Structure 1
Amino acid sequence: MNVHPTANTVSQVKTAEGQRRPRKSEAVYQDLKRMILTGQLTSDSPITEQALAQDYGCSQGTIREALMLLQEYGLVVRQGYQGTFVTDPTPLEAQLMLKLRVDIETTGIVETVKHVTPKDLEELRDLDLQFEGYRAKRDVFGCAETDRALHLRLFQVARMPALEPILLRTSMMLQRVMMPGPRSESAWTKPNVTHHSEIFDALEAGDEALAVSTLKAHILSSAILLAPQFYGTDLRRLQQEFNLPPVQVVNAAGR
């Protein structure tokens, strides 16, 4: 299972979002997504279909398709004749999105423990190797694409398909919050985060409580590393804010 985050794809591809698109709109979509997530495109000025069509040498219809996909994932908002603008999440929105992601993923991993297979773990560890490769190259966008694919694959094992689109959009919006900020060399070489491998080890051991705690620690420590302006620098405080058990199913009588 390989993730190819480059925009210059010359054939039809299936992305981490799981949808097939014509190659030109795919290339435009991927390139615009890269520029938004890395902070090269901001909310300061509108994005117009005509200007983009000239830049990419394609029709406005192709640009419109790419922009609609970006809107679907919450990265832009279209405002009629005023143009299309990159979304700019508020601190409150950033907090709510992080809470939503933690709730969905920690609930999901309880189910993942029940269903995960050695083949699933092999795929997850392969994605982690790809992630580490992009990290070694200081490839911000490559890391983001692979990390999102890894977490979506982890959640897919839980067999909760109705929530996958919500998790995908939430994860991408959180990357919009976390990625554009500056990153120190130590954040690349010695990131103070709980690593993916610790989550996989807990899954392999069949330890539900450890899987939940390591996944939560991974998400929250990453948020502090990449977006302290939104989430602060105190991991213990942030963990206390999110110190709620995963959602559990109750029967019809509410018991």
Structure 2
Amino acid sequence: MDRIRRGIISGHHLPGAPLREQALQVEYGCSRAPIREALRLLERRGLVTHEPRHGFRVREASADEIRQIYEVRALLEKQVVLGLIGRTTPTLTAELRAANATMKAHRAAGDVERYIEANIAFHVILRAHAPNEPLGRALDVVYEMAEPMRHALLQKSLKTSMAAEQHDEIIALIEADRVADAAEAMHRHVFTGLPVALGELED
């Protein structure tokens, strides 16, 4: 499953493209059963769609679906930060700064994959300091659905991404124990990418 998933996220399998079991068997050197199981799992994770008699396709998000993904993620990420009320520590801000510095280094190097990994690590640190399993599970689903879109956008706009600078604002507010303000800043931060994502859909 991981190899097919990576092919979808990287754009090797394009949005809307059919995922024919026989072709995937040849490409990935697997028998039919694991290919079918992988496609079913990817469907549950929101990366693949299935229609009876038409088979599997890479999910192709509409403008409405893109907006919904951003809206849900913004609300969930805001709630993660609100969970830090009464839990801010120097260790938390130090970890966030380290992850953000790594993001900036990978942006300077033009490394999209590692930039995304560092970005996810930043958000995972917030979750780790305010554990909430249902919230974390919901975010995992949203992250997965957004992953191909995130890769496609950053392949074109990595150098101009301001996510790390927006993270700096969030870190400063957390350090000042202004957690509610940091949560609002997180909400704005997530929505920053929406116009770019919608513009990509129109291109």
On whether the aligned pair clears a TM of 0.5, the verdict is yes
The answer to whether the 8 A contact 2:50-2:56 is kept is yes
**Aligned positions of 1:1-255 closer than 5 A:** 25=1, 29=2, 31-79=3-51, 82-181=54-153, 184=156, 187-193=157-163, 194-224=165-195, 226-229=196-199
Q: Within 2, Cα distance between the matches of 1:216 and 1:42?
A: 29
SS at match of 1:206: coil
The answer to whether the 8 A contact 1:37-1:141 is kept is no
In structure 2, stretches of 5+ residues that fail to align are none
More helix by share: 2
Q: CA deviation at 1:207?
A: 0.8
For 2:103, the aligned partner's letter is F
**Cα distance 1:229–1:53, how it changes in 2: closer, same or farther (>3 A)?**
same
In structure 1, stretches of 5+ residues that fail to align are 1-24, 233-255
The answer to whether the 8 A contact 2:20-2:56 is kept is yes
TM-score, normalised by the number of residues in structure 1: 0.66
**Cα distance 1:82–1:133, how it changes in 2: closer, same or farther (>3 A)?**
farther
The answer to whether the 8 A contact 2:71-2:191 is kept is no
**Cα distance 1:126–1:65, how it changes in 2: closer, same or farther (>3 A)?**
farther
Q: CA deviation at 1:124?
A: 3.0
Q: Within 1, Cα distance between the matches of 2:62 and 2:13?
A: 17
Q: Deviations along 1:87-142, whole A, 9 cap, x unmatched?
A: 11111111122111111111221112422433333333333333333323323333
Q: Deviations along 1:209-255, whole A, 9 cap, x unmatched?
A: 3312321232122333x4142799xxxxxxxxxxxxxxxxxxxxxxx
Q: Within 1, Cα distance between the matches of 2:186 and 2:99?
A: 16
Q: Percent identity?
A: 26
For 1:197, the aligned partner's letter is D
CA RMSD of aligned residues (A): 2.9
For 2:99, the aligned partner's letter is L
May I ask how many residue pairs the two structures share in their alignment?
Answer: 201
Structure number with greater CO (CA < 8 Å, separation at least 6) is: 2
TM-score, normalised by the number of residues in structure 2: 0.80
